Chains A and B, each alone.
Chain A
Amino acid sequence: MALIDYLVQGGQMLLVLMLAPLLTGWVRWVKARLLRRRGPSPLQPYRDLVKLSRKEVVLAESASWLFRIAPYLIFAALWVAASLVPTFAGGLPFSWTADLIAIVALLGTARFFLALAGLDVGTSFGGIGSSREMMIASLAEPAMLMMVFTLSLLAGTTELSAVARFMLTADVGLRVSLALALLALVIVAIAENARIPVDNPATHLELTMVHEAMVLEYSGRHLALIELSSSLKLVLYLSLVACIFAPWGMASAGAGSAAYGYAAVIYVAKLALGGVLLALFESSIAKMRVFRVDQFLGAALMLGLLGALLLFVSRSL
């Protein structure tokens, strides 16, 4: 492995970390414009993070050590997961470390500790958030795995770089299974990132909130890490959609530095476009009741299963 490959790997890890707050700010800004508000600058999340990390942490009296290490664990799991998704270059030195199933499971690790942190202080808001988050996850995670099934049945592997390579080849064609998988992935991405219509990222003091309820007791640097982790998760899902369903313009391993730079610009453009689409979608739909969410996600699960079933059956035709 050449040194440049490791550099590119490191560059990708830093890029997702640096871009994460910007993407969140960008989505907020576009949403504000769509609502004919001026909105804060897209750079606002950076300022928030810096300010939060400088403030002291106010810990609840009943908080335990788990509450204090959970933000670091969540951040670590999400950052590792996000840096394993090929963003602008595929076939990197560590791309074989974890496949798509492992990335889904790493997201599960982050969620597990976030839900535990929600229960730790012993307030009813934390409990309500954790309990609902796990309900949403219990449907979203299998839907995601079904999507993984569809992809890997087509590509013959669950490794993301290889999947992206396969999607660039001509023999993919238009497939029903892929359309179903894309739909399932988008639904799961909306649910997992606590966006409208499943959850509202801008809400507080509402009985319908899920993600915000879990992190209600966090403050200072802990809250900064949690916010950064949520942004990372959004980048991760958008990169995933881009890498699987729109892998055009991705540099392959061993390309020159000019190609890498070009690919990085395309990647940022893809993220920006994804952010605009997300803001458009969020602005045009109302939040649904918590107990309608299972039907929404159940649809994703069924779509994913249908996609995988079609492939299983069509193999012998």
Chain B
Amino acid sequence: MLLTLLLVLLLVLLAAGGYGTVAPARPQGSRYLYGVSLAVCTVLLLLALAHLLSGREPLHLSLPLGLPWLGLHLRLDALSAFFLVVVNLGGAVASLFGLGYGAHEREPERVLPFYPAFLAGMNLVLLADDAFAFLFAWEFMSISSWALVMAHHREPANLRAGYLYLVMACFGTLALLLAFGLLAGVDGGYGFAAMRASQTPPALAALVLVLALLGAGSKAGLVPLHVWLPLAHPAAPSHVSALMSGVMTKVAVYGFIRIVFDLLGGESAVWWWGGLVLAAGGVTAVLGVLYALMQHDLKRLLAYHTVENIGIIFIGLGLALAFQANLMYFNAALALTAALFHVLNHSLFKSLLFLGAGAVLTATGERDMERLGGLIHRMPHTALAFLIGSAAISALPPLNGFVSEWMTFQAILNSPELPQWLLKFLVPAVGALLALSAALAAACFVKAFGITFLGRPRSPAAADAGETDRFSLSAMFALAGLCLLAGVLPGLVVDGLGPVVGLLNGGARLTDQYHQPWLTLVPVGPLKSSYNGLLVMLFMAVSGVAAALLIHRFASSAVRRGPAWDCGFPDASPATQYTAGSFAQPIRRVFGSLVFQARERVTMPPPGDLRPARLEVELHDPVWERAYAPIAAAVIAVSTRANVLQYLTIRRYLSLVFGALVVLLLGMALWR
């Protein structure tokens, strides 16, 4: 019954997509469309949340649709319910933002039809219970998001982004298709129930893991499959960027969890699976944030930062796999909870930050941080929301990002009992990488917030910006509020995740947290560590306010405005401020020379010459140059050679066909 209702709601979204083709012509068309999306997403969110918290048995639904011998199977269990909550929370907030933001769209006919379809596609992936429905929904999600990436198709950079996205999406789906093929086995049991029941042989199971890592990882943005992500996510309109970065990457994480933890089953895990996923996660986390630090395009910085957070999530998942392989289910529950908590957290603050970037883009028309600055004066509310998002993503207490990273650290600290030597070396190294990426993330967001919102305006556009509309602000503040709430009441989130973890972990889950005194988070028993976000926030609030009151009451509260001191050399020009590039320069020198082969070249004109001195920075993308450029070159070389085949006579074509036939038959004969 509930599943039928969910399906009907998805049909409403599809119908809204149909309406989107005519909506741009109507005066309030885009408002209606976003309003409907908001309503549907909210209802879906509440239904999924109710199902998750009630802890009921999984629901099934079979419909005679799709492949005739298979049909369409849908299933709603705790895992899909949790991800439905994540997707529809992001969807609802993005739609709310769209109510205001959509009015600024230059070509709404390129956005409106695909937006609800994209939402429906993501929802359908989570409900699918057979391989055909899963892949169909997955491709539907990819294609509709591709159409949204191409919304502003006249910019050449977007064309390239769309092309690359399409290629990588095809690659990812191919990998998933093969993974499902292996899972289905020779009998072709494409229903997920059959896959769960059947035992995959160890060698094939390992292959399925690698294929799932490639397929889901390419959508989520694991290094080195991330190359499309920082190009495609920023190219879309900002509320769609928020959906792609905050939500669609989570659908990819869902795909990985569904295949590896559920369909393969944690009991068939081998220890090196965990090691592989851990290593991929650790490398992704550090490289993602280093890439992000080198960017000066605000949206691209955020997109690269998504790569980092996906790395953190995969560190948690890898730890869980390693623990499950060694039958340490309690520790696996901790690692899984940390990963899923970070899924929720990242969807909250990354959506918030992309919406903030969208508000800045509408107000100034600029994405380049080097041309922004001082927006805190002209957009104080947007600045506050963006600040909360930046603090949350930098894992600062008492906000939510800290809690999930804290739990990941606790899971790492519980891992010396892992018996395998490789894991003994790998886990602390990954812990160091995680610590490094957390510290670099703080630097990255001091840069993102500081250069964009603080200082003095670096361009007339930034100087004339105005505050954004109410819908956009309420969307951002809803997310900021949730960031704070999940940070100070983490125990409730952990309890909510309990059924999901139990489902994936053979029934083992963390103990209930809600009855802990003062709502403290105590994941690993009374003797181990605890954290209480609520008290930390209260202590900070009380001491800060008390200090302010005391000083204002008993000392002085006088304020005088004057020119900036700047060591006695105040310079009127905003060009003398630190820029995004100069802010990142120390970190570029320390880390970039190793990772990006960063070089700086200073050209000084001779004395008397009036030309300005120039500083040129050269960065190399190691992944693109080592992995993708050779592949692209090989493809071009082969296709140039093969180009000859295009201009043959019919006689030659026929003889080619004949020759191919002979070779194939020979091959068949020999193989038999």
CB neighbours of A193 from chain B (8 A): none
CB neighbours of A315 from chain B (8 A): 416-417, 424
CB neighbours of B400 from chain A (8 A): none
The answer on a CB contact under 8 Å between A94 and B535 is: yes
Query: How far apart are A310's CB and chain B's nearest CB, in angstroms?
Result: 9
Q: Which partner residue on chain B sits nearest A68 by CB separation?
A: B559
Knowing A105-B402, A108-B394, A112-B446 are in contact, say whether A56-B432 is a contact too (CB < 8 A). Answer: no
- Partner among B435, B529, B567, B584 whose Cβ is within 8 Å of the Cβ of A99: B529
Knowing A109-B397, A142-B436, A146-B435 are in contact, say whether A123-B529 is a contact too (CB < 8 A). Answer: no
- Partner among B373, B380, B541 whose Cβ is within 8 Å of the Cβ of A65: B380
A80 at the interface (CB under 8 A from B): yes
In the assembly, what is the distance between CA of A159 and CA of B545, in Å?
A: 27
A27 at the interface (CB under 8 A from B): no
B169 at the interface (CB under 8 A from A): no
Query: Which of A37-45, A114-122, A246-254, A278-286 faces chain B?
Result: A114-122
Interface SS majority for chain A? helix
Number of interface residues of A (CB under 8 A): 90
B38 at the interface (CB under 8 A from A): no
Knowing A157-B529, A315-B417 are in contact, say whether A61-B439 is a contact too (CB < 8 A). Answer: no
In the assembly, what is the distance between CA of A149 and CA of B409, in Å?
A: 9
Q: Which partner residue on chain A sits nearest B417 by CB separation?
A: A315
The answer on a CB contact under 8 Å between B583 and A291 is: no
The answer on a CB contact under 8 Å between B446 and A134 is: yes
A6 at the interface (CB under 8 A from B): no
- Partner among A75, A125, A224 whose Cβ is within 8 Å of the Cβ of B566: A125
Q: Which partner residue on chain A sits nearest B555 by CB separation?
A: A53
- Partner among A59, A80, A111, A316 whose Cβ is within 8 Å of the Cβ of B419: A316
CB contacts under 8 Å to A, within B311-365, are none
A-B contact count (CB 8 A): 292
Query: How far apart are B363's CB and chain A's nearest CB, in angstroms?
Result: 16
- Partner among B446, B536, B559, B567 whose Cβ is within 8 Å of the Cβ of A102: B536
CB neighbours of A134 from chain B (8 A): 442-443, 446-447, 583, 586-587
- Partner among A75, A159, A291 whose Cβ is within 8 Å of the Cβ of B543: A75
The answer on a CB contact under 8 Å between B540 and A77 is: yes
Q: Would you give the 0/1 interface string for B566-595, flagging 1 where the beta carbon is closer than 8 Å to chain A?
A: 110011001011100011111101100000
Interface SS majority for chain B? helix
- Partner among B442, B527, B562, B585 whose Cβ is within 8 Å of the Cβ of A156: B527
Query: How far apart are A246's CB and chain B's nearest CB, in angstroms?
Result: 23
B388 at the interface (CB under 8 A from A): no
Q: Would you give the 0/1 interface string for B509-530, flagging 1 where the beta carbon is closer than 8 Å to chain A?
A: 0000000000010100001111
Knowing A64-B454, A290-B586, A308-B428 are in contact, say whether A56-B560 is a contact too (CB < 8 A). Answer: yes
B456 at the interface (CB under 8 A from A): yes
Knowing A56-B556, A57-B560, A75-B544 are in contact, say whether A135-B416 is a contact too (CB < 8 A). Answer: no
A106 at the interface (CB under 8 A from B): yes
CB neighbours of B396 from chain A (8 A): 105, 108-109, 112
CB neighbours of A126 from chain B (8 A): 578
In the assembly, what is the distance between CA of A139 and CA of B442, in Å?
A: 12
A194 at the interface (CB under 8 A from B): no
CB neighbours of A157 from chain B (8 A): 527-529
Query: How far apart are A317's CB and chain B's nearest CB, in angstroms?
Result: 11
Query: How far apart are A265's CB and chain B's nearest CB, in angstroms?
Result: 26
CB contacts under 8 Å to B, within A138-159, are 138-142, 145-146, 149, 152-153, 156-159
B656 at the interface (CB under 8 A from A): no
B167 at the interface (CB under 8 A from A): no
- Partner among A115, A146, A220, A312 whose Cβ is within 8 Å of the Cβ of B556: A220
CB neighbours of A312 from chain B (8 A): 415-416, 424-425, 427-428
CB neighbours of B539 from chain A (8 A): 76, 80, 83, 97
A79 at the interface (CB under 8 A from B): yes
CB neighbours of A106 from chain B (8 A): 397, 536
Query: How far apart are B574's CB and chain A's nearest CB, in angstroms?
Result: 6
Q: Which partner residue on chain B sits nearest A204 by CB separation?
A: B567
CB pairs A–B below 8 angstroms (25 shown): A62-B456, A62-B564, A63-B564, A64-B383, A73-B544, A76-B544, A80-B536, A80-B539, A97-B530, A98-B532, A98-B535, A111-B442, A112-B394, A120-B450, A122-B574, A127-B455, A134-B443, A138-B439, A138-B442, A141-B438, A142-B432, A146-B431, A291-B586, A308-B432, A311-B416
